Amino acid sequence: MATFEPVLTRNWNVPDARTLKVYESRGGYQAARKALTTMDPDAVVNVVKDSELRGRGGAGFPCGLKWTFLPKDRKETLMCVNGDESEPATFNNRYLLERDPHMFLEGILISCFATRASTAYVYLRFEYINAYKIMEKAIEEARAAGHLGKNIYGTGFDLDVWLHRGAGAYICGEETGLIESLEGKRGWPRIKPPFPAIEGAFRKPTVVNNIETLCCVPHIIERGASWFKSIGTPKSYGPKLYTVSGHVEKQVCVELPLGVTTRQLIDDHAGGVWKGRKAKAAVPGGISMGLLSADELDTPLDFESLRKPGCLGLGTAAVTVIDDHTPIIDYLVNTARFFAHESCGQCTPCREGTNWMNRTIQRIKRGGGRVEDLDVMLHLANNLGIIPGTTICGLADGAAWPIKNAVAKFRGELEDYIRSNQVPGAGPTPLQLDIAAGRKVDLVAIGNAIPAPPPPAGALHSPGRPSA
């Protein structure tokens, strides 16, 4: 097998690699010049399509194919780059922004040329203030040097890049939530179709791509589609940035061919499980993707293989290691709280399901669990977003998967926890028991039994509740 040559991280240890001068001295912007001055946009799209580059933002959708969905007769195209990066334990995009901003800008430039977009918005996670400042500087430099702005390289192609900071909501990473937020509205995902390629930001045809996806583009143009396809597994091509965190000796972001295993990442790159312990489990690609148990750590981390151990997919390739001293209930407590907090609330199964799940898990943690709760949780997980068309976006699926995996893979441990941690009075209320058992409950009578709130001071009328 040929030795792997990292490309996405190739400038990371070079002094001043963030500056245009150093970036150019290492061959930077040559791929952009090649694309803009010797190729036409469709030819660029075709090379990216042939490379079978799949989106690195989570869904793994083929990038070149997505670009072909733009209407042929469009007058204007917008590019939205997804730098929200709010999937827990994911920090590959932050590293790309902070360590090689010009490589990212070159990726934007080529991709905008290919899709004929003259405006690109980079939507950045609120907390990424350092990355924001670095990008501001890089954009300024690129504009002054003629890599951005009007008539780039004398080709007549214009491009402006704008930075936009989010306000700290996970849901604004979902592409249509991002678009709504960019438009200045609440980040509520839109019902699709229409997909952004047809009607996206400001109702115009819009391409949404992740930062790492676009960073692959200059290298594909420079080295060709077959080079890209020579890296990885038979169906998942190219280099990938893997982040490893949690209970490891060293938290890292490493570039490796798609298909490396979690065990390799832990042992060869992250210094092993911390404190000399063993891994109990690992989250393979951000918490939405589910959980691998210790005996599944040799599963290749690519777009196909993770389905076999029951995970949702590769996601963001952010691996979180859980050591054998950590109760799985603690993992569930954090996961359920996160999704209940981040659900935007538009869809009933997601809004109610994530909250029920959270409350049930918190109750189990407090010592009020029942063994039957595990089946109630599975029932909830199977009815969150798994039934096609019941929710607007993928958050509900992502909330369900960790629960399904944890209950399936660690049922024995969870049952033991429930049995041996009973705290008197911490269990469910009689009403919750009736609902969980499917017994008929008279919600009107219950509502009427709750006293009406006092009228607000100075109010003439208060609708209150009808008395029983």
Ligand X SMILES: Cc1cc2nc3c(=O)[nH]c(=O)nc-3n(C[C@H](O)[C@H](O)[C@H](O)COP(=O)(O)O)c2cc1C
* Residue numbers at the binding site for ligand SF4 (CB under 6 A): 171, 189, 343-347, 350-351, 385, 391-393, 395-396
Closest CB to ligand SF4 among 253 and 350? 350
- Name the segment binding ligand X (CB under 6 A); options: 79-87, 263-271, 364-372, 448-456: 79-87
* Binding positions for ligand X, 152-191, rule CB under 6 A: 171, 173-175
Give min distance, CB of 251 to ligand X, in A: 19
Tokens of 96: 């790309």
In contact, 339 and 395? CB cutoff 8 Å: yes
Q: Where is 281: in which H helix or E strand?
A: strand 279-283
User: By rule CB under 6 A, what count of residues binds ligand X?
Assistant: 23
Closest CB to ligand X among 54 and 247? 54
Q: What residue 391 binds from ligand SF4, ligand X, none (CB within 5 to 8 A, per partner kind)? A: ligand SF4
Give min distance, CB of 191 to ligand SF4, in A: 9
What is the Cα–Cα distance from 329 to 12, expressed in whole angstroms?
38
In contact, 290 and 284? CB cutoff 8 Å: yes
In contact, 37 and 31? CB cutoff 8 Å: no
Residues 6+ apart with CB under 8 A from 435: 441
Give min distance, CB of 188 to ligand SF4, in A: 6
Give min distance, CB of 354 to ligand X, in A: 12
Phi-psi label, residue 14: left if phi above 0, alpha if psi -120 to 50, beta otherwise:
beta
- Of 8, 9, 47, 56, the residue at the interface with ligand X (CB under 6 A) is 56
Q: What residue 396 binds from ligand X, ligand SF4, none (CB within 5 to 8 A, per partner kind)? A: ligand SF4
Query: Cis (ω within 30 of 0) for the bond into 239?
Result: no
In contact, 320 and 88? CB cutoff 8 Å: yes
Phi-psi label, residue 394: left if phi above 0, alpha if psi -120 to 50, beta otherwise:
alpha
Q: What residue 58 binds from ligand X, ligand SF4, none (CB within 5 to 8 A, per partner kind)? A: ligand X
How many Cβ atoms are within 10 Å of 278's Cβ, its own excluded?
Answer: 11
Q: What residue 380 binds from ligand SF4, ligand X, none (CB within 5 to 8 A, per partner kind)? A: none
Amino acid of residue 395: L
How many Cβ atoms are within 10 Å of 89's Cβ, its own excluded?
Answer: 18
Closest CB to ligand SF4 among 105 and 172? 172
Q: What residue 346 binds from ligand SF4, ligand X, none (CB within 5 to 8 A, per partner kind)? A: ligand SF4
Closest CB to ligand X among 87 and 255? 87
- Give me the residues that bind ligand X (CB under 6 A), please: 55-59, 61, 63, 82, 84-87, 171, 173-175, 208-210, 213, 393-395
